[in-house]
Copies of this chain bind each other. A is one copy, B any other.
Amino acid sequence: MDLIQLQAAFTGELAAVNRKLRALVDERARGMGLTLSRARLLMELAREDGPIQSDLAGLLDIEQPTLVRLLDGLERNGMIERRAVEGDRRARRVFLTESARAQAQDILNFLTELRAGILQGIAPEELEAALDVLRRTSRNIAAGRSAAP
């Protein structure tokens, strides 16, 4: 397999793993009213409650409109609430509701076990090396987007 095929296989597998991972989480977590994206958001709030939306989008590395809809869904489910910020009427802070806070540990455990399951048999050094490759890829993409080559 030459480099070009290897690169194609890598990007292809990247997309495939992602789709499968999302499908798995959605299947397993449906009963809890969760999806992968929602769980990530809740875990971020469990870590530090009350960010304004634009900061939260940055923390999750998604765009604001994507966040808005995620929050709409979670708000309808009664898992988060938006509160006004005094001193800036444009902004709103996002908080976990009490019931979501009570669930947070369960969700964290669920995600942790799920990740351990799908990554079983992969040694820490291998994972670290793969993570490094992913990070460098991320950086290359970011560099390529700011300046057109």
Contact = CB atoms under 8 A, between A and B. Distances in A.
Interface stretch (A81-89, A94-102, A141-149): A141-149
A70 interface: no
A18 B14 contact: yes
Interface residues of A, number: 55
B127 A129 contact: no
Protomer copies = 2
Given A112-B4, A130-B129, A130-B130, A141 B17 contact: yes
Given A117-B140, A134-B130, A145-B27, A124 B3 contact: yes
Contact of A14 (B120, B134, B141): B134
A11 B21 contact: yes
